[in-house]
Amino acid sequence: MRYFHLLNLQHIILWVLPTLVFILVLAVGLAFSHLQTDRSKERMKRIIYTYPGGIGDRNAPFPWVMLLIIIGTVIWGLGYILGVGLLGVKI
């Protein structure tokens, strides 16, 4: 039991707020940024397959945000492995 119950609320806010901000930034990033090529606009508009129910499938360009998240995950993973291995950190 904690002496200050407000500290529980502060910790919840400190966990939830960054998560919501990350979700918002990811959604905006996925919606508006793509790797631009000469054919990007045409690929965004042309529907290559229509599923039952009217859902269209496009061959859209890959978003920058997803590329940065994948690269960041790989770098963090390699750094974590090296940090634990070289520094001998106990998990």
Bridge partners (DSSP) of residue 51 are 55
Residue 22 sits in the same domain as residue 53: no
What's residue 74's pLDDT?
93
Q: How many domains does the chain have?
A: 2
Domain range holding 21?
A: 1-32
Residue 46 sits in the same domain as residue 21: no
Residue 67 sits in the same domain as residue 90: yes
Residue 46 sits in the same domain as residue 27: no
What's residue 46's pLDDT?
81
What average pLDDT does this structure show over 6-24?
82
What is the DSSP secondary structure assignment for residue 7, as one 8-state letter? H
Residue 26 sits in the same domain as residue 41: no
Residue 10 sits in the same domain as residue 44: no
Residue 41 sits in the same domain as residue 67: yes
Q: Are 63 and 30 in contact (CB under 8 A)?
A: yes
What average pLDDT does this structure show over 65-71?
85
Across the chain, where does the E strand assignment appear? Answer: 47-51, 55-58
Residue 2 sits in the same domain as residue 17: yes
Q: What pLDDT digit, counting tens, does each position of 27-65 carry?
A: 888 777 766 777 777 777 788 888 888 888 887 777 788
Residue 91 sits in the same domain as residue 65: yes
Residue 45 sits in the same domain as residue 25: no
